[in-house]
Amino acid sequence: MPLAILPPKLIEAIPLEGYAVHLKYEDGLEADVDLSYLVRGEGEVFKPLRDPKYFHQLRIEEFGTTIEWPNEADIAPETLYDHVQRAVYERRRAEANS
């Protein structure tokens, strides 16, 4: 079985308006990402995140691989990094087309 390769260390996670978060990784990749899809889902662990005040209690987990909340809800590290990569790609694409 191949070993999973984790993304670079997450060094900054700042809650923004609504369910957006500014994320920055040690490789320099950073972007604002919309995580509102988490609160629209049916998963019980994410229901407390529907309260924006609770959502904003996010923090970088102890190993620096992802964000988590007080109820131990989290996002897979590779999924979170993928969100940032996509946001950067879309931003660059928009800049190139303007």
Domains: count for the chain: 1
Would you state the pLDDT for residue 41? 82
Q: In degrees to the nearest 10, what's the CA dihedral of 61, 19, 35, 14?
A: -40
Is residue 38 within 8 A of residue 50, CB to CB? The reply is no
Give the rounded percent of residues in the chain with a pLDDT score beyond 70: 96
Would you state the pLDDT for residue 5? 79
Tokens 């005040």 — which residue?
Answer: 53
Q: Does 25 map to a domain?
A: yes
pLDDT-based confidence at residue 4 (cuts at 50, 70, 90)? low
Q: Does 86 map to a domain?
A: yes
Q: Does 62 map to a domain?
A: yes
Tokens 């978060």 — which residue?
Answer: 21
pTM for this prediction: 0.90
Q: Does 5 map to a domain?
A: no
For 61-97, write each residue's pLDDT tens digit: 999 999 999 999 999 999 999 999 999 999 999 999 9
Domain of residue 18, residue span: 10-96
Tell me the C-alpha distance between 88 and 3, whole Å.
26
Q: Does 2 map to a domain?
A: no
Q: Does 29 map to a domain?
A: yes
Would you state the pLDDT for residue 2? 61
Q: Does 67 map to a domain?
A: yes
Mean pLDDT of 51-62: 97
CATH number, domain with residue 49: 3.30.2020.10
Q: Does 4 map to a domain?
A: no
